[in-house]
Structure 1
Amino acid sequence: MNNHYDVIVVGSGLAGLAAANRLKEKGYRYKVIEASSRTGGKVQSVQRPESGHSFELGAQFINPEMTELMKWIEHAGMQLTETATPADAVSMMYPAKELSSDAIDEHEEKLAEWRTDLQGDDLRLSDLISRLSLTDTEKQAVASRYAELINLPLDQASARGVIELMTRYTSEQEDSHQLNAPLADLIQYMTNTVSEQICYDEAIVNIEETASGYRAVSDNHSYEADAVIMAVPPAVASKLTYSPALENLYRQALNSYLNGSIIKTTWVYDDPFWYDYDLNGDKEAIMDVVYTDPSGVTVVDSSKQGDGYRLTMFIGADAAKDIAKQSRREQMETALNLLEYVFGSPARGFKDAEQSVWVDEPFCGGGYGAAVQYGGLPDAAEILRTPHGPFAFAASELAEQFPNHMEGAIRAGQATVEQVIKLKTRQ
């Protein structure tokens, strides 16, 4: 069998699927090699025909400015639906039971200013947050939010790395929408067009350079190509070995990333009791809650219009790692207890629920994505975005826009195809 291709794509998450579809569109001979038994990566859905409910285990929320994702949604004949949160809903810090302040909302501007002040130096993200001109409760809320967003303990995270990540997310729109169908349906649509070229359950362990290009090697097979796109998260890609030239260029940047940890739990209710919450004597509709104890926990209203009432909890960083050691039943009960602390006994009146644990996942990594650790290279993403000949990395974490989001993954996959094809044709 002739195993030489124009391009090999390693990984079939959104970045890999976007790259494969672009390669097919351009008429190249390609192969997608997937380590697991499915496509989609961190986009995964559970559907329950008996109840009519579906749950997103990973990525879920969409910003209408995510134009490349929107194109795929339109091609698949799907639509967005707005998250059904009341317009006057508020954000709350708990257990202080205080409203989130304007100062918290504006803190990112101050962090961005410090990017210049650091002048090449780095800090732990925890140290940088401690410098913010906020109350202790506000600082704790900001720290908790970041622990959930980057899924790492803040004393392990690079401040410059996080600021660099933030500067690549330029949209001011909220992630206010969801797909009107399970995201797995969109993944299947993207998969169907390239399905004959996907090889499953084949974990690549080594990338070698050859006289004619590259060789991707698994425990059982090898595949040769003129070009390679590594469409896997950087912390996962760091587990592979590479040719000496690639190791020299990329090893330090790859090792700069740590996988995050996140546990996601969604409950379905008949009654949206959080729309009538007693906040210090006032009735408020709650949009989201940031816990300061334990840190790294948030709850959001994830109700879709016409699809019932839902709350979704995200438990990140150290809290996620600790809970991941529990049994599945204990994990669900721990999350429910946290919800009950805020909303009382109505929290236990759910009619359906689902939970996913993204901790130390071998092929997708953990959390929403990987983040640059303190002591790593703050510009690791830029290094990994830069191709070496017709070899390049493509991952949401590396995207020049919308990093750590579905949109970023799609843009990264498509952009990398253009890069490696351009370099391939020069050879």
Structure 2
Amino acid sequence: MSDVDAAADRETDVVVVGAGLAGLTAARWLDGRDVDVRVLDARPQVGGRLRSREVDGVVVDLGTQWVGPGQRHLRRLAADLGCEQVRQRAEGDALRYDGNGTHRGKTAIDSLPLPARLNLGAAVRLLDRRSGEVPLEAPHRAPDATAWDETTLATWRDGALRTRRARALFDAAVRSSFGSEPADLSYLSVLFAVRAAGGFERLTGLDGRPRTRIAGGVQTLADRMAADLSGRVHTDSPVRAIAHDEDGVVVRTDDESVAARHVVVATAASRVACLDFDPHLPARRAALSRRPPHGAVVTCVATYEVPFWRPDLSGDVLDEEGPVCRTRDVSPLDGERGVLVGQLFGNAARRWSERTRSERRSMVLDRFAEYFGDRAVEATGYTDVAWPNVPWSGGCCGAAFPPGILTTVGEALREPVGRVHWAGAETATRWPGHMDGGVQAGKRAAAELVGRLRTD
């Protein structure tokens, strides 16, 4: 027994803090290798930023929800768990709204005036090319890392995009991917995200390629992993403190203390700062806990008797003016009911998270009517989640890295602190901040631990 675990109520090999995709993946991977594990989460349910709910007889997702091209870790997990993946409908035209009305095209980019489309295309190609210079394991080692990290994405945008319409669409696409404004993001962090996703259009969903969703709601992934862990996942158990030394750790909640050989912290980056570490985290790791805020998202879902926008429209709308930035058709496969999900991001999400649900409903349905006509106000059901208000979350998109973080303290992002390991989705090297990134980060942390457990 080490000094830190002398008074612990329970003992295990590894404690995992957080029952989102990253934490549950790490626990499941460890359990499969005969490692005793205990998962603790402050929320009343598993899943983290996954949130599925029945509305008007239809199961809808109110958090992160789409499975994109190239997200192999997430697809493999869904297959392993027996979760059916259903194709996101892509037939029909997409819409771009610019305050003066809607404009149709196969994708939002296709609906731009030619000068703006050419300007945006050139800027995206430059982003993609430069992103290839960013090492996925160490973005701070890119050739121009310091200069890029000191530059905001907005500053780069102003130099690369000369037309107002190209800038407006670019900003909307960025908000919908990061939940943040271009002025709040390091240019280097965006290059890293672009490289990690395989291109700007793939990252932002502007490529027009169909996504998939999880039948029965994306929360099914978390529920099935928790069920497989049979009693080792404990909700309503907020971790308050982690004591650690060279021999072990003790993790303390309101109700118990658990001694372990190692701990995996798989919470949102902004939540790490709420944990009391003894001894304190090193300065670089502590800075990472304080500075990258989570993106701000409000997800709003409206149900209809039928998907009346079909077949001419796909239901995909990119709104350059907001406050509803991105809208998609998430109707059931049989098409007997219509469901639209609209999302607010960044500054708009923060503003509207302070309003009542009734006020948000009125605003969202009015906005849908701008896109699809007056029938859009005749919703049969409505619900939403303002993620900035959700306890223990603080946001829904991944961590948004402001200028000066990656090159000064970013090297500590995945580096263990003694027996404290990190598995938040922002620690991934593929699709960081997304579901696929959470699965990859959980696997990486678990593999890291297995190697150390063998030598303890």
Change (3 A) 1:144 1:95: same
| Alignment partners' CA distance in 2, 1:217 and 1:385 | 23
| Alignment partners' CA distance in 2, 1:420 and 1:394 | 11
Structure number with higher strand proportion: 1
| Alignment partners' CA distance in 1, 2:17 and 2:59 | 29
Task: Determine if contact 1:261/1:360 at 8 Å carries over to the other structure.
Answer: no
Q: Which moved more, 1:176-185 or 1:225-234?
A: 176-185
| Alignment partners' CA distance in 2, 1:318 and 1:249 | 28
| Alignment partners' CA distance in 2, 1:294 and 1:67 | 32
Task: Determine if contact 1:64/1:70 at 8 Å carries over to the other structure.
Answer: no
1:20-419 equivalences in 2 (<5 Å) = 20-48=27-55, 51-63=56-68, 65-86=70-91, 88-96=92-100, 97-98=102-103, 99-100=111-112, 101=117, 103-104=119-120, 107-113=123-129, 118-121=144-147, 122-170=150-198, 172=202, 174=209, 176-244=211-279, 246-275=281-310, 285-294=313-322, 297-307=325-335, 308-377=337-406, 382-419=411-448
Tell me the residue number matched to 2:10. Answer: 3
| Alignment partners' CA distance in 2, 1:387 and 1:343 | 51
Change (3 A) 1:287 1:330: closer
Give SS of 2:379's match.
Answer: coil
Residue 222 (structure 1) shift: 2.1
Change (3 A) 1:266 1:202: same
Task: Determine if contact 1:389/1:423 at 8 Å carries over to the other structure.
Answer: no
Give SS of 1:404's match.
Answer: coil
Task: Determine if contact 2:416/2:422 at 8 Å carries over to the other structure.
Answer: yes
Change (3 A) 1:243 1:384: farther
| Alignment partners' CA distance in 2, 1:184 and 1:300 | 19
Give SS of 1:274's match.
Answer: coil
| Alignment partners' CA distance in 2, 1:358 and 1:225 | 32
Task: Determine if contact 2:318/2:325 at 8 Å carries over to the other structure.
Answer: yes
Give SS of 1:27's match.
Answer: coil
Task: Determine if contact 1:389/1:424 at 8 Å carries over to the other structure.
Answer: no
| Alignment partners' CA distance in 2, 1:317 and 1:181 | 28
| Alignment partners' CA distance in 1, 2:375 and 2:99 | 18
Change (3 A) 1:155 1:113: same
Q: Note the aligned Cα RMSD (angstroms).
A: 2.6
Number of residues paired by the alignment? 417
Residue 190 (structure 1) shift: 0.9
Residue 389 (structure 1) shift: 3.8
Change (3 A) 1:7 1:249: farther
Task: Determine if contact 2:308/2:338 at 8 Å carries over to the other structure.
Answer: no
| Alignment partners' CA distance in 1, 2:210 and 2:27 | 27
| Alignment partners' CA distance in 2, 1:301 and 1:238 | 37
Unaligned runs of 5+ in 1: 277-283
Q: Which moved more, 1:136-145 or 1:180-189?
A: 180-189
Give SS of 1:59's match.
Answer: coil
Task: Determine if contact 2:398/2:432 at 8 Å carries over to the other structure.
Answer: no
TM-score w.r.t. the length of structure 2 is 0.83
Deviations 1:391-422 (A, max 9, x none): 21112222111222212111111110111221
Q: Which moved more, 1:183-192 or 1:63-72?
A: 63-72
Residue 113 (structure 1) shift: 4.5
Task: Determine if contact 1:80/1:179 at 8 Å carries over to the other structure.
Answer: yes
Give SS of 1:257's match.
Answer: coil
| Alignment partners' CA distance in 1, 2:38 and 2:121 | 45
| Alignment partners' CA distance in 2, 1:91 and 1:397 | 31
| Alignment partners' CA distance in 1, 2:389 and 2:247 | 36
TM-score w.r.t. the length of structure 1 is 0.89
